[in-house]
Amino acid sequence: MSEAEEEPKNNVVAGVITALLALGLVVGGVLMAFDEKRPNQLTRDGALAPEATIERLDGTKVTLSSLRGKVVVLDFWATWCPPCIEEMPELVKVGQDYASKGVVLLALSEDDGDTKAIVREFMQARLPQLAPFAALSNLDAEDAYRVRALPTLFIIDREGKLVASRQGQVSMDEVRGWLDEALR
């Protein structure tokens, strides 16, 4: 075969490969969009919250089932996440304001590496009031709660049922409203 005959064949093969790759990207994007729009079974009002064991920054461990009788705020966040950092001081204030009413805030850090050291350094530099609420996330908790973005917040009522969930930054007025509803 001459070079002149091979060149069109190479162009056809390259075109087919390019078209298949583009099709794969389109199909993948559609599937991802469909998955994101599918209702998360966790977010249904009244759905039982998955069990998880959480390690607090001080090393103590708590299971969510041991917190039945209290309203729980689970907040998945990270020190490298700007929206997380922006909302954390207000969320800590909500945790402080509602603690006497039987609300437990667990701020689960998603930082990689030596998470305890990273969170301690963050608290020392920016938000010492976080200490009583600081906890470490783990893959079991992330998977159980289907955490795909940060911040992600869940409100669990006294019976262990989900009242609300939100992915992305949330208004503290909205959080207070959910807590007031869960405390009724």
Return the closest-CA partner of residue 73 out of 2, 174, 5, 4. Answer: 174
Please report which confidence band the pLDDT of residue 16 belongs to, taking 50, 70 and 90 as the band edges. Answer: low
Rounded to an integer, the average pLDDT of 152-171 is: 95
Predicted local confidence at residue 108, as pLDDT: 97
> Is residue 20 over pLDDT 70?
no
Q: What is the dihedral of CA 95, 152, 116, 136, to 10 degrees?
A: 90
Band (9; pLDDT cuts 50, 70, 90): low
In the predicted structure, residue 2 carries a pLDDT above the cut 80 = no
Sequence-ordered list of residues with C-beta below 8 angstroms from that of 63, at least 6 positions apart, any chain: 51, 52, 53, 54
As a whole number, mean pLDDT of residues 72-86 equals 97
Q: DSSP states of the chain as a string? A: --HHHHHHHHHHHHHHHHHHHHHHHHHHHHHHHHHHHSPPGGGSTTPBPPP-EEEETTS-EEEGGGGTTSEEEEEEE-TT-HHHHHHHHHHHHHHHHHHTTTEEEEEEE---SSHHHHHHHHHHHT-GGGGGGEEE--HHHHHHTT--SSSEEEEE-TTSBEEEEEES---HHHHHHHHHHHH-
Q: Indicate whether 8 pLDDT > 70.
A: no
Q: How confident is the model at residue 24 (pLDDT cuts 50, 70, 90)?
A: very low
Sheet containing 134-136: which strands, arranged edge to edge? 61-63, 53-56, 134-136, 103-109, 71-77, 152-156, 162-167
The hierarchical CATH code for the domain 41-183 is 3.40.30.10
pTM confidence score = 0.76
Instruction: Convert the pLDDT of each residue in 113-128 to its tens digit.
Output: 999 999 999 999 999 9
**Over residues 148-169, mean pLDDT:** 95
**pLDDT of 3:** 61
Average the pLDDT over 102-115 and give the result. 96
Q: Give the pairing type, strands 53-56 and 134-136.
A: antiparallel
